Amino acid sequence: MTLPPPRPRQVSLLEQVRGLLERSYQHHTAVLGSLAPFILGDEGYRRLVHRREVVQVVRSGTAGARLLIRQRPGGVLRVSLYYPDHLIRTLELNDPARRLDTNNVDAFATFVEELDHLLLLATRSQTGPPLSMLEMELHANVSKELVLRHFLARLEGVRRLSTTAVAWIRFHLFEKQEFSDPDPALRQRYTDATRYAVRYLRYLDGLAPRRRLRSLRRFSRMSAQAKLRTINRVAA
């Protein structure tokens, strides 16, 4: 009797993006294991808020997704990643691995941003300088464009996107956004993170692929101040 070949394992969107970020930056986050226990939907988020465990929140604009740093009994800190149910439904109905357009680009960007926060935090908790909120936003902005460019290039069957396609991504990620948060410090942080990220991304565009990858990996490991100094130097 001949057995049928095993079906290829379906790789979730979460795993695809995690793998891409880990390879790009050489992040070593295997210590996290599966990310499923870190993910919360609306009900899990409501329970955390009710129990008043959350001590710090890193959120992505107005999309509702956020990284939650919470304190458990005994003072132990834990991290959770909250994706609103409506955001996950959007990505299930409009899978970015099959199509990337105006119906899912915002949801996908938010999805990548918060995952990047989690992976960067996990990496820095093992080694490296402490993270600032500005650095987390700046790093995530770079990651968002890189991931969206990768997915769109794969969908179009090309190695390098056209300038029109890159402009479309940057419009949706950076140019159409209006930071209307009532907190002026938060608005300034979003504005600065966007401005610095776009400058660095334009610098990367001028590098050969291998130099681009080396620059990205060095950039990811730098402190916040070193990142800003580097951008001011190379992308004046």
The structural domain count of the chain equals: 1
219: nearest Cα among 27, 17, 25, 29: 25
Residue 5 domain flag? no
Give the pLDDT confidence score for residue 210 in this predicted structure: 93
Per-residue pLDDT reduced to its tens digit, 86-115 = 999 999 999 999 999 999 999 999 999 999
Question: Residues 6 or more apart from 113 whose CB is under 8 A from it?
Answer: 60, 65, 140, 141, 143, 144
Cα–Cα distance for residue pair 116/139, rounded to 1 Å: 8
Give the pLDDT confidence score for residue 112 in this predicted structure: 97
Per-residue pLDDT reduced to its tens digit, 15-57 = 999 999 999 999 888 778 899 989 999 999 888 877 766 656 7
Residue 8 domain flag? no
Residue 92 domain flag? yes
Residue 134 domain flag? yes
Let me know: does 70 contact 90? Beta carbons within 8 Å: no
CA-derived radius of gyration, the chain: 18
Q: What is the pTM of this model?
A: 0.89
Residue 4 domain flag? no
Question: Taking the mean position of all CA atoms in its chain, how far away is CA 178?
Answer: 19
Look up the domain containing 93 and give its range: 15-230
* More confident position, 153 or 131: 153
Question: Taking the mean position of all CA atoms in its chain, how far away is CA 13?
Answer: 13
Residue 9 domain flag? no
Q: What's the mean pLDDT in 186-200?
A: 92
Residue 6 domain flag? no
Judged on CB neighbours under 10 Å (0-12, 13-18, 19+), 79 is middle
Residue 236 domain flag? no
